[in-house]
Amino acid sequence: MNPGKWTHLCIDMQRMFAETTPWQVAWIPKVFDQVAEVATRFPDRTIFTRFVPPSSPEEMAGMWRPYYEKWPMMTTSELDPALVDLVPDLKRLVPPARLFDKTTYSPWTSGRLHTALLHQGIGTLVVTGGETDICVLATTLGAVDLGYKVVLLKDALWSTTDQTHDASLQLLGNRFSVQVEVINTEEWLSSL
């Protein structure tokens, strides 16, 4: 891993979180310009993750089954499949940007993303997207465990609530200060 070699990991900027669904997050428009700025400047260095629900709760193991029993309207048999896709302004960047589909909060569970990044010599992940206190948290902790440096662009992250967003950034920035940097997008772009 080369800490100087980085990629932009954009977490779950999908229509099902941006449009009218039970999982809609009001914050997305507030941070969208910063997310788009990074992805548009560096599409060849951007990987968009997509959280892909199963077609039914029975397809999932363990506690994921009751999770989707609570949210059956968000399974792909009931949800418009187009809502799983990226928001249109980001979808147009693929390719050269790449997609990485996941069925859990963390993109690391299958090992595919880590293997791909290792082959490219990536040592630093610049993270945008959401939710700060769920998928971004899982992504960051997994990345730390795997040895990556993580740069969280705090004004390009979204969540459902201010309190858990702020607490997550404080936890990650303070407790993991050697492995995680929390910075504003413009400050990070200016440092390149």
Within a domain: 62:
no
Please state, rounded to an integer, the average pLDDT across all residues of the chain.
Answer: 96
Cα dihedral angle (29, 36, 160, 75), rounded to 10 degrees?
100
pLDDT tens-place string over residues 109-155:
999 999 999 999 999 999 999 999 999 999 999 999 999 999 999 99
Within a domain: 78:
no
Within a domain: 60:
no
What is the pLDDT at residue 4?
A: 82
Within a domain: 66:
no
Number of domains in the chain: 1
Domain that holds residue 33: 2-54+86-191
Within a domain: 167:
yes
Within a domain: 64:
no
pLDDT of 3 higher than 90:
no
Residue 129 neighbours by CB under 8 Å, 6+ apart? 9, 10, 11, 12, 13, 35, 49, 135, 136, 156, 157, 158
**Percent of the chain residues past pLDDT 90, beyond the cut:** 97
Within a domain: 178:
yes
Rounded Cα distance, 64 and 67, in Å? 5
Does the pTM of the predicted model rise above 0.75?
Answer: yes
- The domain that contains 147 carries what CATH number? 3.40.50.850
